[in-house]
Each structure stands twice: as structure tokens, then as C-alpha cells.
Structure 1
Amino acid sequence: MLGPLRGDSPGTIGPYRILARLGADATGEVFLGDRGGSTTPVAVRTVRRDVARDPALRDRLRQGITVARSVTGPHLAPLLDADADAEPPWLATAYVAGPTLSAAVRWAGAMGEAEVRMLGAGTARALAAVHAAGTVHGDVGPGSVVLAADGPRLIGSGPALLPPPERVAGGGQAVPASDVLRLASVLRLAATGRDELADGPGPAVDPAGTDLTGVPEALRAVLEDCLAADPAARPTAAELAERLTPGAADRWPGAVRGQITEYERELAQVIALDGPLLPGHPPAGDQAAPHQPPTAAGFVAPHQPLTAAPDFVPPLHLAPPEAPGVPAPPRRPRRALGAALAALVLLGAATGGYLAWRDDGPAGPARGGGSRPVTIVAGVGEKGGPDASGTVPYGRDVRPTGWKKSWKGRFSQPPLGCSAGREALVCRLVDGSYEALSAADGQQLWGMDAGLETGGKEAHYGPNGALFVPAGATLPTVYDDTVLFVVGGSLQSVDIRTGEWNWETRAGEALALESAPVVVGDLVLAEATRPDGPQLIAVDRGTGVEKWHLTLAGNDLPNARKANFWPVATDGKVAYAITEQGPKAFRPVDGKLLGSAGGEAEPANSNSGCGDLRLRGASAFCATSVPNGDPSGFGEDMSVLRFTAGDLRARGRVTVDAALAAGARLSALDDRVMVLSRGDEYATSVPDEIAVVRRADGRTVGRFPLTLHPGKGTSNPVSAPLIVADTVVWADTSTLYTVAVRPDGTLGTLRKTPVRGAPGPGATPDYDRAQGIQLGEELLPPQVLPMGGVVHVVYDDGTVVSVPLPG
């Protein structure tokens, strides 16, 4: 999607301020920009200087600009401005936020007839406008049609890669009927999911051999006419639009709308920065290979730019942004550059659907002054957002709705895991009930119990280590204006402001304290306990109707092998869940298995002990523990395994300083650092501390001792640290701690901010733990929930304090 500017990226091009980098191809680079005083984003393309030095090519560029100015009509990305004589030459077109048709079909599958008619009618109208200007597109394909919220947009994506038969036969020049022929193959792809018109060189479209199996009958008749071998026998673009309009839908399928929403929200977040997206700005991405679901050709980025593209951590709204990709186009010979320049000028070569990095979506802070605030969609929990990286991609200027000043609130019982959104802070309590406080001022909004008799029991671990949570209540998951949780065997969606039910459907129960539903676009994923074992179910987020299910583990596993068989993370394109074989990756739309974290044959790549995953850009991480030689016999060293996101191919280990591995737990990571929580009640040689190491080589950059037992029978538990706005943040019972992470991965000075209203250290619990651990009796660690520039701190006694993020 949108990438950070590089060191050599321009700050301005013509009158446009450059905000982010969209990509690059054989003709030049493409940037996202805006113009002073305007709220309209544009795609600004520069032409490579060596290309521009060719007088003939520069002349073609001038001619193309002249033609493009005369092309007007619906469903086009219009040329807004251009300067063929600048150094380098540039042109600006309207930016279209949305996936290409190629990406949409690979993600969501074939469309229904009504949506195909909508696609075809709009694209045909765009072609009619092009033809009316006396020119042709020459490269109509699944990568040159972008699906915007209000319909398709035809863009230019370079020279024709699949010549129509009249050109192969020696006709030489493409004609308007050539565009119609190629559009027919595009519509065939949309209707069947089979891609004949790939985005790469290949044989000509053969009208006689084109397989229309699976195309609805009425639509097939239209496409057959478009595929006539004689160009003169094909309908014009305008005629085609008229034939496709009857029965056309007025909106895209739900999965496609989710993709479009992803692009729109990503755009809003980048614009809200009120400045360029720079390397190292949260969330910057993993610099490794792009994360993509697999295709027959392996892992490739959809419309992958010809230059290397960094990845980005997905924003927390997580609507499905992209599908498995198509192979990157090959480098074009110089003779093709003229055609490429003409095509890109004619119809806008850089939009949300073309030359955009699809790997992960950036999410930055809101615009200073709040003129165009970023909307918080997905909530923040104990592991950050749905990617579970522990990094929150909301910047300092993002704040909950209506938040004006610090406040103090209270839950009625000890909280046992919370999630915060723009409207409310929702917590599960130790008795299996839920309560919500206003994110603006801490006032109670609603409370809800399971409606089941639990015998007054609170959450606890039994003597054998088995977890009991009343009514099997899971962590709440906040998404947009809803809260999702499983309680009493029912997956429920409730209004975040009122607690009123939206829907409920049969599901399972919490198998671990961290069990929680995961939202992926229009779907909610959860565990369902079925006779043959735990299953992963996907239900419609709006209705609760089940879409698919699959088995995560058998029903005869011994207790020693039972785990949190739940979905654990998503990047918006792939869902990850724990199975009895370890972590696996699934395609959200249909549950297709995309990969498994295997490699058991190689100890360095073994997934043994992988009970969780954390995603960051192109990589997935799993922290496991291996026994060490501590005299207690209980000592363990942390080992961080790394996998390729998407297919979970093993990529070895992330080295951690040997002095820090003992008793360490991975709490958060971004592109520069990993944050560890250390301490071991059995191995007394392990100090209690927060440690920060460089992710690249595991070298220590900061160690911060903790005082968990200040004396006189008191305890001072510490929250798990998270990362927000380039700041590591954690809290104990009285103080909020923050330390800045610099762009080079080094740390600033630790800042300690007393929290007014915090409960302070409490009495160390004293009861017989041999009979089990009563979570209601324990002094539980606080939980920090950074909502951009605001941090909610939730304490064991039910106190909640909301304060500005220091720094």
C-alpha cells in the first residue's frame, strides 16, 4: 500500500506536497501527494530522467498529456496536472483508493452476474470516453481496473501485454474493438475467477478458444459478441455499456467493500499525518520479503513494483486489503517505454489499485489540530491490535471520541482483560461478566452477565492447572461500534455504547485467558466446541451467519497437548490460529489452508511450543521457551522463531542477547526493537526487568529494573509493555513509564510519570495456592491500553485512570 518516502524522495513535485511513496516501475516512481489548501489526494508520477532524455519519448509524453486533457467521462482517473518540460517530467492524476480487479477476485473469488454487469458497464463507459477522444487504451486488463467505492475506475498500466488477434495477425495498431475484446476477457475473469488475461506477456486472446464455462447465460451472449474474431463485428464500448446496464448491481460484494474500506482508511491515516510518511514512523514495516498468500507461482506481491518495497504493519481496522497476487511484470524493453508513457498519461498510472504496495497498511497519528482526525476502528488490547505485535499504530494526536482531559473511573470487580475503542473501554471481570466505561470521561455505560448460574465462582486455575472462567467468557474484542465476545457458549455482538445485542450464534469457550474473537474484514473468527473437537468458525460480522468452519484439534488430546485453539492474529489478509500441529495460516474468505509453522526436522526452525504468533510486516514471530541449566530445574530461556507471514515458512531464529534470554517473555516488537518482560519466581537469578533489544541482531539497548516487591508484605505488579508512537510504555501500581525509541533503534531517557488516583502497591495475597490460584484473590498486573495520545491504565481493584501519553 502506501510506503514511506526514501532519503532521495522529493519533498514537492510541481505544486504538490509529497506524502508517501506508492511504488515504481520501468518508467519512473509514483507518489501520493496533495496540494496546499486542497483535501483531494493525488497520485504524482515522475518520469525517469534517463527516459526523459530521449527527445522522442518526451514528445510522446507531451502528446499524451494533450490527449489526456481531452478525455473526460465517468469511471476514469482524470489527469489533473502535468509538466512534460520539468526535470524530471511529472503528471498528477486523481488517486483512487481501492483494489484492482485482479486482487479483488483473487481475494474474494468470482462475482455474481449483477456485480459483473456493474463492473462491465462502468468500464465500458470509461472506454467509450477514451475512444471518443480519438485514442485507445491498449492495455485493458484485470490490473488496469480499480474497484472504487462508487464503481470501477479504468487506469493506464503500461503497454499492452496481451495483443489482440488482429495485432498478432499483422494489423499493427490496436483499434477500439481491441479494447472491447480485452474487456470481455476481464469480465470473464470477474464472472468465473479464471484469469486468461494475466498481467504479464502471453499469447493473444483467442476468441474461438475462450472458455466461457461458468459465465451466466445472459452475460455469456454479450461476451460472445465482444469476442468476435472480426473486430468490426464487436459492439462498440458505448453499445456494450448499454447492454450490460440492465440488471447491474449498485454496489460491490461485501468482501470487496471491505477491501475498499481498507484503502480509504489507510489513505485517511496517511493524510492525517499532516506531513510525509517517513522511514521509522510507526508503523514502519519489516524490510524482509513481502507478505503474500501463496499462488501457484509461489509468494509474489500483487502488482509488485519493480523496485524493492518495504512492508508495513497493518492498521487496526483490518478489513481484507488484498488478495494473493499475480507475478510481477517483467522489465520492459526500451521500445515499450513510449507505449507505457502514453498509457500512464491517458488514464492515470498510479492509484490505489496500481503500483501500490499491498503488503500491509500504514496507520499514523491524526492530523495536528484535529481537522481531519483518524477514526479508531479496531480496539487495542493486551497485545496491541489484531496483529498481536504489541505495537499500536495510532499516533499521539489520535484520541478517543470526546476525550478532553484525564479522568478516573471504576469497574465493579477486578478486571480480567480489556479492550479499548474510540467510544468505550470494555473489560471482562473475574465473575465472567462484562462492563463498559466511556472512553471520554470514564462514566459507566453498561454491564452484562452471562445470564447463567456459575455458583458464585470466580476465574481460577485448579490444582491441576486447568483454567476455569465463569461461563467460558473470553476477552472482549472491540471493532468499530461493536463489542464481540464468547460467553455461555455463544458468540455475541453487542453495541459498544448501549450493550444491546446485535446478534449471537453458537460458539465455544475460553481455552486460555487470552482467548478472544478476531475480526477480519466482514468476518468474525472464533472457536466453536464441536463433538469432533475445537473448530475455527467464521461468521458474518453483520449478521452472525456462519460462513465456514474447520477443525483445529481432535477431541481426544491429552491435557498436556491442549492449547489455546483459537484464532490469535490477523494482518487483514490472512488469519492465524493455533492447531494441535502448531500455528497455521488460513485464507479468511473460505478457510483455505495457506501454510503451517512447521520445520520440526530442524531444531533451529522447530515450532515446538509455539502457542501464539505476533505479526509484523512480512514476518510472523513466535516466542518459545527451552529449558536451561538453572539449578532450580525450572529455568527456561526464551527463543524467538521467525516465519514468513502468509505461508509460515521457517526463517530461523531472532537472536537475543544470551544474558537476557533466561526468564524472558516477548511483549512487543516493531521494526527496530523487541521489548521483553523478565522475571522468574523459581529461578531467583533472573532479575525482574523490562529489557529492550534491537530486532536486527538482539543486542541490548536498554534494561529497566522493576520493583515488584517493595517490602512490608506488599506487591507492585507491572503491566506488559506496549509500543505506541515510537514509545515503549508500561505501568506499575502507581507510575506510568515511557521511553522513546529513536529511528536508529536506540532509546531515550526513561520517563516516570506518577498516576494520580492509582491504587499503589497492595498487600501480597496470602492463601493456600496448593488448592489452586484464585484470580480474584491475586494482585493482578495493571493493563495499559494506549489509544494514540491517551493511555488508559486498568488496575486490579477496578480503578481506571486515563491520562495523556507523556512525552
Structure 2
Amino acid sequence: MAPQRNTGAGAEAELPEYAGHYRLESCLGSGGMGVVHLARSTSGMKVAVKVVHAEFAKDPEFRSRFRQEVAAARRVSGAFTAPVVDAAPEAERPWMATLYIPGPTLSEHVKRNGPMAPAQLRRLMAGLSEALRDIHRAGVVHRDLKPSNVLLAENGPKVIDFGISRPKDSELRTETGKLIGTPPFMAPEQFRRPREVGPAADIFALGSVMVHAATGRGPFDSDSPYVVAYQVVHDEPDLTGVPEDLAPLVSRCLAKEPEDRPTPDELMRDLRSVAASYDTQAFIPAQRTDDSDVPKSAAGPEKPRPERRLRKRVALAVGALGLVAVGAFASIPLLSDGGPPRATTRSAPADGFHQWRTPPVSGDTSAPHCSYGAGKLLCARSGLVYALDPADGTLLWRHVVATAPRSAPPVLSGGLVQPLLGEGQRMEALDPASGRTRWQRSVPSHSGLRSVGGMLLITGRDGAVTGVDSASGDTKWRRRIPGQSMPLFTSFPGDPTAYATSVSDDGSSSRVTAVDPVTGDVRWDARLSGQLEPFASSDGSLFFLSVDRFYGDAVAVVRYSPKAKLSRRVPLPVRRQDAQATVHKNVVYLLASGGSLEAVDTDARKELWHLETSVSRGSAPVADDAHVYLTAADGRLLAVDARKGTLVGQTPSRLGTNADRVAASLPEPVIADGHVYASAPDGTVFAVDGRDPARW
């Protein structure tokens, strides 16, 4: 049989007859990355097969991305997605086959039939909430949920397309030039902090999808993707036309801050209160069988916490106390409004240290973000900042803030505790001994905030930077930083310098400006090759990840010595997705999505070891002379031998009662005085001896 021909726009001139054992019968559509076919297996089963365009098949970078898409689709295969039947990412023309699901996309349905009826909208929202719950539980963030990626099947909506983003799908780039999705359905953090995007971004997209389904337009609407991006970050959504009973849920999904959005499970619970039962008719009206309908293949081409409700969970306290007997951990009773309790501890070993664990503060369960300062463990979570005694976990003080801090630990700056709050909130500096407020000041909306060198640097919407004394709260200077139109600073422990990095329009180079936080003066300025993201400083050198232009995958480690004006680049053996890194004595430890951990020696310019940890999502790693530590999404703390790259210890998982909550970012462990402190999704903070992980 001669090859099939297709004259559709963007399709291949000649199409293959088979993909593996699957005979390609007809073309369902063509996208930026490949052609989607209706095909049959040897037994006659219908499948949808995506065959990659020939031009991309020759690109090693694209093949790597396609392998990741196949892996993600396989991981989430289930009732709410199109199950992967087979795939050959290494074939001459890579392809992936999924179960064929007849039905139009949500985009096609709304275009033909207009906005959905209220009953259909409720069922759509419930179905997509269930789908996102399963996707997030599998450790995957879709990042590009939109009407064209939702199939309307008889038994409910199916989410498809796990290729992240396609080159032709987005007209916008991140600050580093990475294509990140489709602007009308992207969350604010995808524009502001793209490397911090987590499951909550999918919830925001769900809100936008629901507005489209209810009205035929989005909550932010403009012909220009740049205007849409501004609206998403700054403006309130337009919910005109959304049914009154659904509008509050959709509004919560569209909250500007990830932590203010509900989880999929909470959405489903609230939807049950909106309507006790859902219409049991076929999900799609009968008119969808019109000959003009062209079903889209399920193989088409290509992160949350609810608004907090403080709960008193006595059961959790009882469970925590029970662990004392079986796990040899100290435990603190459930914290109440009656003041700090005394910690119950077992007898300490000869070196004076014992392992301990606290129950959730105020009964709310989510992982606190902690740091070490002023001889205390300083933690922030759910509208609360508090201090623990690092010796036994005793609560020393707590301070309620008006709104929840960002997903970042408090920092000690100017001798005071500085909670890093969200945008447009009132800043408070706290006494580290008592937790009392020492000074307050408002922070402008949509500003960047960084604490460094006894100063707070606030970047305004106009790009000007204000230097605030951390000890007094007084403004010391205000100016623009030469060469940086909108400087968003990074800083690192022990380094009294603030760094602003921007990328050239073509993505070929990065400009790095080192600023004295006390005066605002520029200490040095350099233009380095590649798209660089700073992650650490050590021994007078600044360390970067060099990332791919389109997808943001880490492709190399770069070490820059400003005194010598010398840049050293170490290519990674394999590109790493969503990489997080740390450095210890010029050895970089890098954790990628899926749990790949590796050590890179920047002196010898080579990889020392590589370990597959099996952690689907992990925190940024931290390291000392002996071990590398990281926290898993299920609350485990893992220790890896820093020299050999072998797993040497891990704590039990601690998911807690709200296992449906998937945080946008995971708190990294804290190392202090040979001890390791970590937190878990059940709300606990715990301490272990870093010298002997095998005993954890």
C-alpha cells in the first residue's frame, strides 16, 4: 500500500503506513510537533497515534523532550486521561499510541455549540478536578491545561497532551527565554517565577478553562498575549456569565497566589455542596455526532493549597504521641492558644542530641518552611511564624501574620526575623527572642523582595530598587540598577552580595550584576554565555545552571570567578528537567524531576556519580562533607553518601490526613551543628542526627 498523503497545513507531505504494529488509517489532525492518526492494532483495537514530524525527529533535544512526554503520559494513565498503549521514542520517526477516545475537544464543542449549560459545567468542573487530583498524585504538573487539551468523552472529560509546551503554541517567553505555555490559561507564577510552578498552576488553568466553557471567552481577554500576561498577573478576572453557584469556586481557582487556591479534592467537596447530584445524561449533547465533528486524538502534542481553614486535629496529636513508643521520637502535644507546652523527650545520648518531632502547629497540616538563625529553628506556614528550640523541638514563640507567608522560610536579617510575605502585604520584623513585632511597613503590590546583607531589597513595578535597613525598617536608598530594567535579586547564605540576572533577547547570553545591598552600588557586572540561573555562591565563585532555550532543562553547570573574570562550563551528560542544585566545596549536587541525583566536580569538570533516587518530586538538595540531603513529596528525608552516591538512610513517609494537598514547592532540609531538620506534609517538623542516617 502506498503511503498516505495529507495536504493539511503543517502536516507531512507523505505519511507512513505503519507505526510499529499499528496501521495508520486516517489523519485526525496536525500540530506543531507531529501528526495524529486514527490507527488499529492487529486485533482491531482503535488507537490514536502521534507520529513526530521528520524535522523534529532529527533533533536530539526534541527526542529528549518527547521521551519525557511519553514518561509523563504513562505515569498518569488512568480513568481521566488517555491510557498509553505503546510508544517508540527511539524510532527513526518517534511515535506514541494511546487509547482512542471519540469526542470533540472542549474548544471545538464551545465553538460549535456555544457556552455550556450549568449542569454540564458542574460535571465538567468535577471531572477535571478528579483528573488533576490523579495527575498530581502521580507527581506530574500538566502546565498547559486549556480547552484544546480537554477531550469531552461520553463518560466525562479526559485531560491530554503532556508535552509541556510546543514551539508554536506560545508567543511568550519567560525571563530566560523558555516557552512556558498558552498565555490565556497560564497562572501568574508562570510569568513571575516560572521555575517555582507547581500543581496550583493547573488549578488556575482549571479556573480559566471553566470561564471559557461558561462564556466562550477567558477571564483575561486580549488579542495580544503580552496584554493577557499583564492582566493575569495584575488584574481581577472577568467572571461575567459564570453561573452564580460556580463563580465563587472559579474565583478561588483564579487566586493570584498559589497557596490561596483550592486543591482538587476540596473542589470536589465544594461541588457536592453546590449540587447534591449531577445530571446522568451523556456528557456531550447529541448534536456532537454531526458529520462536521472531527474527534481529536488523545495522543495530541503537548503546581496547591486551599484557602486555609484552621482545624483542631486531636487525632493527629494522639497519633504523634503514639509514635514516641514505637519510633523513639520526642513529641509535643498539639499546640493550643494556651501558650507553649513543654516538650516530652526521651533521655539524650552522650553527645546530648536526641531525635524529636513536633505535631502540626494549630492543627493545620502543610509542610512548614524553616531556616536556622539566632540559635533557633525559624518556621513559617499558613499565616503563622514560629520558633522551635533546635535541641528538643519545644515551641519558643509563635506570631500570627495577617496573610500566609510565601513558600519560603523566614530569614534572620539585621538581627530580626523577617517573614517573606506575598506581594502587596504588610511586612513585619520580629524579635527572635520573643516573636514580638519590632517594626512594620507596607510593601507595594507586584514587587520583588529579597533579604541580603542586613538589608531588604524591594523592586517596584517601575524597576527602581529600594534598600531598607533590616534592623530599623528605614529606607536607606532608592535607585535603578544599570543594565537591569527589572532586577529580581538572588542571594546566598554567607555572601553579602545581591545578584540580578537577565537574559538577552536571543537567549545567547546572560548579564549578571552584583550589587552592594547597603549602598545599591554595582560591585561588578559581567556578560556570560548562555541562559543562566544562579543557584549558589562558594569560595568567591558564583554557580549557575545553564538552561535550554525552549524548555528550561539544565544542560550544564557554570562556575564564574569574578576576581579572575573566569567562567568554567561543565556540560551535563543528559539534560535535566526542573533541576535544583546546591554546591559544597566546588562540587555541585543536582536533583532533577523524577529523582535523578548527580554530583558534578567543577574543578575536574566531570560527573562524579549519578543516582536514581525514585523520588518523583523532591526539594532542592543540601550538602555537608559527608552527605547530600533532600526531602520527598511524601515527607521522607533522604541521605545520600556525598562521595559514593549511594542511599544511606531515609525517614518514614509522613503524608498526614490531607494527602490530596500537593505543595508547589517542597521545603529543603536545614543543616546545623551536625543535625538535620526537615518538615513534612502532615505539618510536622523533625530533627535527626546527620552523622548516622542508617539509624533514622
**Normalising by the residue count of structure 2, what TM-score does the alignment of the two structures yield?**
0.36
Q: Which has the larger radius of gyration?
A: 1
